Amino acid sequence: MSVPETATTFIPLSAPEIRGNAWRYVKECLDTGWVSSVGEYVNRFEGMITEAVGAPAAVATCNGTSALHIALLVSGVRPGDEVLVSTLTFIAPVNAIRYVGAWPVLIDAERQFWQMDPEELRDFLKNNCQYSQGELRNRKSGRPVRAILPVHILGHPAEMHAILSIAGEFGLAVIEDATECLGAKYRGVNVGSTGQIACFSFNGNKIITTGGGGAIVTSNLEWATKARYLTTQAKDDSIEFVHGEIGYNYRLTNIQAALGCAQLEMLAEYIEKKRAIAARYQEALHEIPGVTLMREAPWARSIFWMYTILIEEEQFGMSARAALNKLASKGIQTRPLWQPMHLSPAHRDCEAFRCETADWLHARALSLPCSVGLAESDQDFVIESLRSLSSSSKHRLEHRSTPRAIFSDVQRG
């Protein structure tokens, strides 16, 4: 198949999919004047999140970053504490740790599923920390280690049994960043329901969107009450304007929640669509030399929120960055993974514990268009464009192998 020079229209990386009751619900807010941070849709949205995640309580917030900030506060992280967090992540959770005056310690990713590496976590706690003055402290900094913040990246869960068991062993809180993982399963249960507290985001590129929005889910009802209090300016008396402490204006508005309710009604369908997109990529790309496909662990059900491959320059014929530029010139939007946090100028003063795998992944990763509404013809164009970029068709033919089961442990490159 010859590949046209450019796509007939621009193919975005991940566009929101607004369908169903969105217009009806939002119009109702406009018609009734319930547009701000109080209203029936906020309550309904929190109820729907509770149900979708299978957690006892949910508190809606104005975005995922604020959800993380509040989750850290209610789970007891204090100024001067340390929090062990994935280095391979979007910057928001690491910023949130700094908002509370705590210090991130950056932990590497594992190579198979690209999530926080529990072995590195244990290694750091065992060998770089000790109990002193009644607390677990980082030997080097002397600061108390308070919590672990694993980030479930790209729609796939981290190994939570291992992380929770390490947390139990060392007496640490676990705050999950599940912002990219709504609807994913870990060992048969919903991501965000295995630990005590987790956060979601509903910004424009997430599997469902409220325009901007987030949620804290928790099994601790006291934390839920405290989170609701802190996100509404810590208001004790709304008539006399008495505020018990320094709070935040972090609530979701009724308009956003209305959109969120309509979006949540579509969640199951959107997940199926994301999985179908992933399956088509797996099927089509597995034979390209130098391409490593995104994997799904046998214990996981990924939502493939952001379909990502690794490109090995030598076999593929060009680097992931060069491929990004070539694809952009054809009207295809792709993107690399985030600069790992140990390289970020914003967090260069934080401790990083051996982050080689994150560097390795960062150099190779390329996220491909995977909007819920991606047309098959557009996906075919992406696939054919990637094939044509691959340096040597001869090499490709020599290495052709029988396609394996779509979600088996296929790894190449």
Region binding ligand PLP by CB under 6 A among candidate stretches 88-96, 101-109, 260-268, 405-413: 88-96
Distance, CA of 300 to CA of 13 (rounded, Å):
24
18 or 284: CB nearest ligand PLP? 18
Q: Which of 117, 159, 177, 378 binds ligand PLP (CB under 6 A)?
A: 177
90 or 186: CB nearest ligand PLP? 90
Q: Which of 22, 49, 70, 93 binds ligand PLP (CB under 6 A)?
A: 93
Rounded least distance, CB 66 to ligand PLP, Å: 7
Position 331: which residue type?
G
Q: Which of 63, 218, 256, 390 binds ligand PLP (CB under 6 A)?
A: 63
Rounded least distance, CB 308 to ligand PLP, Å: 13
- The two tokens of residue 331 are 């009207």
Region binding ligand PLP by CB under 6 A among candidate stretches 176-184, 225-233, 310-318, 394-402: 176-184
Distance, CA of 411 to CA of 282 (rounded, Å):
10
201 or 253: CB nearest ligand PLP? 201
Name the residue whose CB lies closest to ligand PLP: 64
Tell me if 116 contacts ligand PLP by CB under 6 A. Answer: no
Q: Say what the alpha-carbon torsion angle 276, 278, 283, 286 is, to the nearest 10 degrees.
A: 180
Q: Which of 108, 180, 296, 351 binds ligand PLP (CB under 6 A)?
A: 180
Tell me if 65 contacts ligand PLP by CB under 6 A. Answer: yes
Tell me if 14 contacts ligand PLP by CB under 6 A. Answer: no
| Positions in 230-269 near ligand PLP (CB under 6 A) | none
Distance, CA of 346 to CA of 87 (rounded, Å):
13
Per-residue burial over 91-116, b = 16 or more CB atoms within 10 Å of its CB, e = otherwise: ebbbbbbbebebbbbbbbbbeebbbb
63 or 115: CB nearest ligand PLP? 63
Place of tokens 């068991």: 165
The DSSP secondary structure of 49-71, one letter per residue, reads: HHHHHT-SEEEEESSHHHHHHHH
Residue 306 is given by DSSP the state S
64 or 183: CB nearest ligand PLP? 64
- Beta bridge partner(s), residue 191: none
- The two tokens of residue 85 are 């967090």
Rounded least distance, CB 315 to ligand PLP, Å: 30
> φ and ψ at 116, to 5 degrees?
-50, 135
Rounded least distance, CB 177 to ligand PLP, Å: 5
Distance, CA of 364 to CA of 15 (rounded, Å):
23
Region binding ligand PLP by CB under 6 A among candidate stretches 60-68, 229-237, 254-262, 352-360: 60-68
CB-CB contact of 379 with 277 (8 Å): yes
Site size toward ligand PLP, by CB under 6 A? 14
Q: Identify the CA nearest to 102 among candidates 74, 131, 73, 129.
A: 73
Rounded least distance, CB 192 to ligand PLP, Å: 13
Q: Is the dihedral of CA 392, 395, 400, 406 positive or negative?
A: negative
- Where are the alpha helices (H) located in 75-172, listed in sequence order? 92-99, 118-128, 160-170
213 or 317: CB nearest ligand PLP? 213
Tell me if 176 contacts ligand PLP by CB under 6 A. Answer: no
Rounded least distance, CB 141 to ligand PLP, Å: 25
280 or 362: CB nearest ligand PLP? 362
Residue 151 is given by DSSP the state B
| Positions in 191-220 near ligand PLP (CB under 6 A) | 201, 203, 214
Distance, CA of 325 to CA of 332 (rounded, Å):
9
Q: Which of 37, 89, 138, 256 binds ligand PLP (CB under 6 A)?
A: 89
350 or 389: CB nearest ligand PLP? 350
CB-CB contact of 119 with 127 (8 Å): no
Q: Identify the CA nearest to 23 among candidates 212, 319, 231, 265.
A: 265
Interacting residues toward ligand PLP by CB under 6 A: 63-65, 89-90, 92-93, 151, 177, 179-180, 201, 203, 214
